[in-house]
Chains A and B, each alone.
Chain A
């Protein structure tokens, strides 16, 4: 066929598989405990790797003696990560690692390693900029319009200070891998959100060519932006394996180490002033913000978030370097922080002028990117409706006369998306079986399921007729699952490869139907003529026409040329409805409403699950999660899960997700939802708490002590 096939998505009303709430295809595997994660694997001759980590926030290794560990029976390899002379910049840094025949022996051996440190001064806290000294690096000032004049002429000025601390990813499966380096071959079972490029992140460090890597991952126990590469544990594991004569080594971080070094979200603090009119229009913005992303600083929230065309602005940001583990991408990097800071300030402005924040937000979303203004207006209305805003909202501090006060709060979000670079191969065999292959990964978002849906839809088959292979470096290359780009990428490449394969099948079947290939369509397990459906062959019969030659066709999504199959850019509005006990300081979520903009939805059930998950994670960060650092010792006080608290099943209230599935949205193509709904939760919860108790609790998480302190401040 000379013509390129038409890859565009079938119209909504014609879809048979896409858009339907199929159950996730790997659900039975997971719910029966049969799904094998890399951390479950136990290949023959497996050695267990254990790390020794640094107990100081800032120190120099002066000597290290591993001889006793090496002599321990059962120890097969010892690898020094930080030799004498190394300057350590955060506690938990890897010093050495041991591989032994049992985990118990490895742990004993690690304890026998003697390390001397010269302890150096540290800074671990960033909530008070005045204490940061030389560790603070100002990024310079940015001025838009004439902020001084705006503030002088303002009818009202509000101000506040807000903060959101460092939180960790806390994936339930810690970082690590099972790895075997034998001769010039490396086999790895990692826990990674980029199977295709894993080898590339390790190969140069051990000088093994990328094609000699065999990377495989069936399932992964959480990533959220913290597992993009092989990391130092990949390298250390490889070294241990090689030293042990090529035996496979399992090296996964212990929970405490994972909490300390394997990823966190940067903090963000800001003093913000808003100038505006009594009708709610903001005319000026001034912010002094600071943040830390660890020793290299980092973390610059884009302020003012979304409403970034406020005509007069003065912005000042400072990055603080602390002796604590480095930040990593965290499910919409910098957006939660920016959303929290901006929405808090906007709500404080509304309170200052005595207006309903719903109206103030309505007014000021005019400053959002033009293409999204109407979406926000619509979403604000919709969210108000679902959350019963008119009935339940009250001016600040009028949350009832009893000790438990109820309040409502708003937050907004924006995210990109698009489809990442992705290649897919669809094979149609003469016996009618179909294999789809793609080197991607399923982080629990439902990637497997949606790939099969797209292939089934395209080929006119049922879900069960498609076999799928993902999670291996031997498969066609895909990209990292990051930036909510996976669903866009894999759905588009699958659509194309399956369409390309189908065209070949049409060519093989056409003579038997006395038709031209382009006159055919694939519907309900048949290949038939479009305008004469009685001219038909079953799928099996059509495939038999292939003789002994299978069809194997590639399809590629090019990030820069999505061809209408996927798109970028979604808005979101969320409303929290909370009750706050003013005697105990306890915040309870009653109801949480999310109105989420979206594109073409391949599976509404899985999309909804992703939204729930994002919101629940956000509730955790709004109410419980915080990396607590000890000023004296420089250590993280809660590198665990009892004091680093995640939200539990009874902490989340009722969650209502309204996915904005409409034809005009559908036409945009597929847009990922991993990150968009995770952005606005701290903002909405913080504003709801302020609305309930009549006073701003400046810092997330809204723990009882912080709530009580804020209340006392008001009373004092």
Chain B
């Protein structure tokens, strides 16, 4: 077998929520006290709407939430089931992160959430509140590319480019934690992202170069 599963788990999907202020589907289900048999059916949602909801429960209709994206608060109204990825793409026009597998395999949707690299297709938007969400849109300063992006350009680490934003974010998250990576480290550390065009040769070089560049203090 390949190491993909292992490697993916290194990405530490967000630990399941402490249902904070009821802003989670899980909390919602508990709140209305339904038997497990009905969980996940359309019936649940219809009955649930009718049931008087405890004060700290929201949904299933759209709810206003506040995300902190690249350091700035952003208000958006989404249903509690909407993923962070879909909130960004469908509601906020932040389209650097891509929806490719939509289930935590490919890394095209990678963002950095509270300092941790995550698949944004596998995090609910409501659960991402109160944490800083770094996206590709926040990397460049003006017209200056972030050193990771610049290294991707220098080493031609992209073809169609559909995986690239995810790779750049994964690489940034990786370098933040491993400032002196060897080539072997890079091959393991970036194993949670996939590219169909086959740009890995360039990506390997790019990540090693970017790490050196960032240590040089040019950017962080």
Seen from chain A, the residues whose Cβ lies within 8 Å of a Cβ on chain B are 23-24, 26-37, 39-40, 42, 48, 102-104, 108, 111, 170-174, 219-222, 224, 254-255, 443-446, 586, 605-606, 609-610, 612-617, 624, 640-642, 645-652, 655, 704
The 3 closest A-B pairs by CB, nearest first: A33-B96, A616-B198, A221-B162
Q: Is the CB of B187 within 8 A of A649?
A: yes
- Bound Cα distance A24, B137 (Å): 20
Q: Is the CB of B193 within 8 A of A649?
A: yes
Inside 8 A of A29's CB, which chain B residues have their CB? 161
* Chain A: minimal CB distance from B81 (Å): 7
Q: Which of A173, A446, A650 has the most CB of B within 10 A?
A: A650
Q: A640-B105, A704-B1 are in contact. Are A616 and B200 (CB under 8 A)?
A: yes
Counting CB contacts under 8 A, is B136 at the interface? yes
- Bound Cα distance A255, B103 (Å): 10
Identify which of residues 50-94 in chain B touch chain A, using a CB-to-CB cut-off of 8 Å: 79, 81-82, 86, 89-90, 93
Inside 8 A of B149's CB, which chain A residues have their CB? 28, 31-32
Counting CB contacts under 8 A, is B180 at the interface? no
**New A-B pairs, 6, CB < 8 Å, besides A609-B159, A650-B187:** A23-B153, A27-B156, A32-B149, A219-B160, A641-B194, A645-B4
- Bound Cα distance A102, B190 (Å): 33
Q: A613's contact among B79, B86, B197, by CB below 8 Å, is which?
A: B197
Q: Is the CB of A172 within 8 A of B105?
A: no
Q: A23-B154, A642-B101 are in contact. Are A104 and B2 (CB under 8 A)?
A: no
Inside 8 A of A616's CB, which chain B residues have their CB? 195, 198, 200-201
27 contacts between A and B (CB under 8 A): A28-B145, A31-B150, A32-B145, A33-B139, A33-B164, A36-B95, A37-B95, A40-B95, A42-B90, A103-B90, A171-B160, A171-B196, A172-B98, A172-B100, A172-B162, A254-B102, A255-B101, A444-B161, A606-B156, A609-B156, A609-B159, A609-B199, A613-B199, A641-B105, A642-B5, A642-B103, A646-B195
* Chain B: minimal CB distance from A149 (Å): 46
Identify which of residues 157-184 in chain B touch chain A, using a CB-to-CB cut-off of 8 Å: 157-165, 168
Q: Is the CB of B106 within 8 A of A172?
A: yes
Q: Is the CB of B196 within 8 A of A617?
A: yes
Inside 8 A of B4's CB, which chain A residues have their CB? 642, 645, 648
Q: A24-B156, A444-B197, A652-B200 are in contact. Are A172 and B79 (CB under 8 A)?
A: no
- Bound Cα distance A549, B101 (Å): 52
Q: Is the CB of A33 within 8 A of B165?
A: yes
Residues 192-214 of chain B: 1 if any A CB is under 8 Å from the residue's CB, otherwise 0?
Answer: 01111111111110000000000
- Bound Cα distance A613, B162 (Å): 14
* Chain A: minimal CB distance from B19 (Å): 21
Counting CB contacts under 8 A, is B108 at the interface? yes
Q: Which of A23, A24, A33, A610 has the most CB of B within 10 A?
A: A33
* B interface size (C-beta, 8 A): 66
Inside 8 A of A624's CB, which chain B residues have their CB? 2
Counting CB contacts under 8 A, is B16 at the interface? no
Inside 8 A of B86's CB, which chain A residues have their CB? 103
- Bound Cα distance A28, B7 (Å): 28
CB nearest neighbor in A for B140: A32
Q: Which of B98, B159, B161 has the most CB of A within 10 A?
A: B161
Q: Is the CB of A222 within 8 A of B158?
A: no
Q: Is the CB of A655 within 8 A of B201?
A: yes
- Bound Cα distance A641, B186 (Å): 22
CB nearest neighbor in A for B5: A642
* Interface of chain B: mostly helix, strand, loop or mixed: loop
- Bound Cα distance A443, B152 (Å): 18
* Chain A: minimal CB distance from B183 (Å): 10
Q: Is the CB of B3 within 8 A of A32?
A: no
Q: B98's contact among A103, A221, A586, A704, by CB below 8 Å, is which?
A: A221
Q: Is the CB of A104 within 8 A of B81?
A: yes
* Chain B: minimal CB distance from A67 (Å): 16
Q: A222-B197, A612-B199, A649-B203 are in contact. Are A32 and B191 (CB under 8 A)?
A: no
Inside 8 A of B102's CB, which chain A residues have their CB? 254-255
Q: Which of A24, A104, A649, A650 has the most CB of B within 10 A?
A: A649
Q: Is the CB of B108 within 8 A of A172?
A: yes
Inside 8 A of B26's CB, which chain A residues have their CB? none
* Chain B: minimal CB distance from A307 (Å): 28
Counting CB contacts under 8 A, is B188 at the interface? yes
CB nearest neighbor in B for A610: B159
Q: A36-B95, A173-B98, A220-B160 are in contact. Are A31 and B199 (CB under 8 A)?
A: no
Q: Is the CB of A640 within 8 A of B198?
A: no
- Bound Cα distance A641, B145 (Å): 31
Identify which of residues 99-148 in chain B touch chain A, using a CB-to-CB cut-off of 8 Å: 99-103, 105-106, 108, 135-137, 139-140, 145-146
Q: Is the CB of B164 within 8 A of A613?
A: no
Counting CB contacts under 8 A, is B42 at the interface? yes
Inside 8 A of A26's CB, which chain B residues have their CB? 161
CB nearest neighbor in B for A585: B1
Q: A172-B163, A606-B156, A648-B2 are in contact. Are A222 and B196 (CB under 8 A)?
A: yes
- Bound Cα distance A704, B1 (Å): 7
- Bound Cα distance A651, B193 (Å): 12
Inside 8 A of B79's CB, which chain A residues have their CB? 102, 104
- Bound Cα distance A642, B3 (Å): 11
Q: B158's contact among A42, A111, A444, by CB below 8 Å, is which?
A: A444
- Bound Cα distance A617, B197 (Å): 7
- Bound Cα distance A86, B25 (Å): 39
Q: A222-B197, A445-B159 are in contact. Are A641 and B100 (CB under 8 A)?
A: yes
* Chain A: minimal CB distance from B56 (Å): 22
Q: Is the CB of B136 within 8 A of A33?
A: yes
Q: Is the CB of B96 within 8 A of A34?
A: yes
- Bound Cα distance A28, B143 (Å): 10
CB nearest neighbor in A for B97: A33
Q: Is the CB of B164 within 8 A of A31?
A: yes
- Bound Cα distance A219, B158 (Å): 13
- Bound Cα distance A147, B199 (Å): 46
Inside 8 A of B5's CB, which chain A residues have their CB? 642
- Bound Cα distance A220, B161 (Å): 8
Q: Is the CB of A27 within 8 A of B158?
A: yes
